[in-house]
């Protein structure tokens, strides 16, 4: 009955793979899926039993009865079980059923009330908890949820990146915004990062590409929805892989080393990084020099009673810099981000001068 508490990253070689259906639908489904997944590089069987669907009137999970099926399917096949919890009652029922790992879904991470309720229910319990990013691109909320669970005494925590909601669903169901999980890693380096390409993509075709991207960015694991008969799935049908498709995806993944001991490589990298360091500092000095000129212009505009924002000049800057930047191989996105930052700073500095507020 009492199974050992899994230490997430020690379960397997990278990547840690969590797979299973979006929802546990019936006993036969979860057993069939688990048996097939156990033959692949999968350590943890996922399955939702309480499903937070966006619209009512759709399949919203079997409820607590399905917990026993999930746990039994995992145990029979040598896997650990994981379920989503959103209330204190879900936590109590999952623990009573012997679920090995809990996860907090994106719609729960968004609410500090919900996360705190789950944290309070977890006080003094030793169980791994996976925390999905909130549906909105808010790193503070994600970190806040992790901190609340840490404060409950849970040490075995991982973060799941499942992308962020947007109105435009052309390419992704949930936009990845990779910079957000990477910033989380910078600020919380000890929290393992798991990518959920299924909820990022929303359809099968991009999943392998997003999973590879996560590996290239050094994520520790993957959570991927898989169903023994995806075409019959009662929720998230379009994005669920068959166990065979999941197996192929995992076999084709290129897993990159975090470090290399090859002396030549290490020396080359050091050399290139030194050059990058110098260029970064040169760039900062150029920006500081630019700021000085911006301030001179600000003072001059003030003396002549001219407004700060000159639409023609700004349009010309965007046009000429974008054209030249692209000619020398910079991406449109980088040029646009850079110009936006420079323009914001310029307006800010000149406003200070015109209003006689603090001039740095
Ligand atoms: C899920 O994993 O099935 C789920 C509901 O995901 P998310 O919380 O990422 O929407
Ligand atoms: Mn799902």
Considering every ligand atom, which ligand is closest to the CA of 52?
Answer: 1
Q: Is the pLDDT of residue 27 over 70?
A: yes
Confidence band for 168, pLDDT divided at 50, 70 and 90: confident
Q: Is the pLDDT of residue 18 over 50?
A: yes
| Cα(164) to centroid(ligand 1), Å | 12
User: In the 3-class helix/strand/coil scheme, how is the chain assigned residue by residue?
Assistant: CCCCCCCHHHCCCCCEEEEECCECCCHHHHHHHHHHHCCCCCCEEECECCCCCCCCCCCCCCCCHHHHHHHHHHHHCCCEEEEECCCHHHHHHHHHHCCCEEEECHHHHCCHHHHHHHHHHHCCCCCCEEEECCCCCCHHHHHHHHHHHHHCCCCCEEEEECCECCCCCCCCCCECCCHHHHHHHHHCCCCCEEECHHHHHCCHHHHHHHHHHHHHCCCCEEEEEECCCHHHCCCCHHHCECHHHHHHHHHHCCCCCCCCCCHHHHHHHHHHHHHHHHHHHHHHHHHHHHHHHHHHHHHHHHHCCCCCCCHHHHHHHHHHHHHHHHHCCCCHHHHHHHHHHHHHHHHHHHHHHHCCCCCC
Considering every ligand atom, which ligand is closest to the CA of 105?
Answer: 1
Under 8 Å between Cβ of 128 and 149: no
pTM reported for the whole predicted model: 0.84
Of 245, 105, 109, 129, the C-alpha closest to 192 is 129
Considering every ligand atom, which ligand is closest to the CA of 235?
Answer: 2
Return the pLDDT at 226: 98
Q: Is the pLDDT of residue 148 over 70?
A: yes
Q: Which residues surround ligand 2, an ion (CB under 5 A)?
A: 22, 236
Q: What is the pLDDT of residues 74-102, one digit of tens each?
A: 999 999 999 999 999 999 999 999 999 99
Return the pLDDT at 39: 98
Mean pLDDT of the chain: 95
Q: Is the pLDDT of residue 170 over 90?
A: no
Under 8 Å between Cβ of 349 and 298: yes
User: Which ligand 1 atom is at minimum distance from the Cα of 163?
Assistant: 9
Task: Name all residues whose Cβ lies below 6 A of ligand 1.
Answer: 22, 48, 52, 105-107, 132, 162, 199
Confidence band for 241, pLDDT divided at 50, 70 and 90: very high
Mutation pick for ligand 1 pocket among 85, 136, 162, 207 (CB with most ligand atoms within 8 Å): 162
Neighbour tally for 74: CB within 10 Å? 28
Return the pLDDT at 358: 60
Return the pLDDT at 2: 58
Better-predicted residue by pLDDT, 277 or 11: 277
Q: What is the pLDDT of residues 307-360, one digit of tens each?
A: 888 889 999 999 999 999 999 999 999 999 999 999 999 999 999 998 886 654
| Cα(199) to centroid(ligand 2), Å | 7
84 Rama class: left (phi>0) / alpha (psi -120 to 50) / beta: beta
Better-predicted residue by pLDDT, 314 or 248: 248
Q: What percent of the chain has pLDDT over 90?
A: 87
User: Which ligand 1 atom is at minimum distance from the Cα of 106?
Assistant: 8
Return the pLDDT at 1: 47
| Cα(320) to centroid(ligand 2), Å | 46
Q: Is the pLDDT of residue 233 over 60?
A: yes
| Cα(336) to centroid(ligand 2), Å | 35
| Cα(117) to centroid(ligand 2), Å | 23
Return the pLDDT at 10: 87
Q: Is the pLDDT of residue 3 over 80?
A: no
Distances from the Cα of 230 to the Cαs of 21, 73, 117, in angstroms?
9, 18, 34
Confidence band for 252, pLDDT divided at 50, 70 and 90: very high
Whether residue 344 has a cis bond before it, omega within 30° of 0: no
Alpha carbons 11 and 17: distance in angstroms, whole number: 10
The mean per-residue pLDDT over the stretch 201-219 comes to 96
In this structure, which residue's CA is closest to atom 6 in ligand 1?
Answer: 105
Return the pLDDT at 308: 82
User: Which ligand 1 atom is at minimum distance from the Cα of 108?
Assistant: 8
Confidence band for 175, pLDDT divided at 50, 70 and 90: very high
């Amino acid at each position: 009955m009492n199974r050992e508490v899994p230490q997430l990253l020690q379960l397997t070689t990278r990547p840690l793979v969590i797979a299973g259906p979006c929802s546990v639908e019936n006993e036969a489904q979860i057993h069939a899926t688990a048996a097939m997944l156990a033959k692949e590089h999968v350590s943890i069987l996922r399955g939702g039993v309480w499903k937070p669907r966006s619209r009512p009137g759709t399949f919203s999970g079997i409820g607590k009865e399905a917990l026993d099926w999930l746990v039994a399917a995992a145990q029979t096949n040598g896997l650990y079980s994981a379920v989503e919890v959103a209330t204190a009652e879900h936590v109590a029922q999952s623990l009573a059923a012997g679920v090995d790992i809990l996860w907090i879904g994106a719609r729960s991470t968004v609410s500090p009330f919900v996360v705190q309720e789950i944290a309070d229910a977890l006080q003094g319990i030793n169980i791994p908890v996976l925390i999905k990013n909130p549906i909105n691109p808010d790193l503070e909320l994600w970190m806040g949820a992790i901190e609340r669970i840490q404060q409950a005494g849970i040490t075995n925590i991982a973060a799941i990146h499942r992308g962020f909601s947007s109105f435009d669903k052309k390419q992704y169901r949930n936009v990845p915004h990779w910079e957000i999980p990477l910033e989380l890693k910078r600020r919380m380096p000890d929290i393992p990062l798991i990518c959920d390409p299924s909820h990022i993509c929303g359809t099968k075709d991009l999943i392998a590409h997003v999973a590879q991207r996560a590996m290239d960015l050094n994520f520790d694991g993957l959570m991927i929805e898989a169903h023994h008969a995806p075409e019959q799935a009662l929720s998230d049908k379009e994005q669920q892989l068959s166990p065979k498709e999941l197996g192929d995806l995992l076999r084709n993944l290129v897993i990159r080393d975090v470090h290399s001991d090859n002396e030549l490589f290490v020396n080359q990298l050091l050399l290139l990084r030194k050059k990058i360091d110098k260029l970064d500092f040169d760039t900062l000095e150029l920006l500081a020099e630019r700021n000085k000129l911006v301030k001179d212009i600000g003072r001059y505009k003030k003396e002549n009673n001219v407004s700060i924002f000159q639409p023609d000049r700004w349009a010309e800057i965007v046009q000429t810099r974008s054209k030249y930047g692209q000619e020398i191989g910079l991406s449109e996105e980088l040029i646009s981000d850079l110009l936006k930052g420079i323009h914001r700073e310029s307006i800010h500095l000149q406003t200070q001068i015109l209003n006689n507020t603090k001039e740095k």
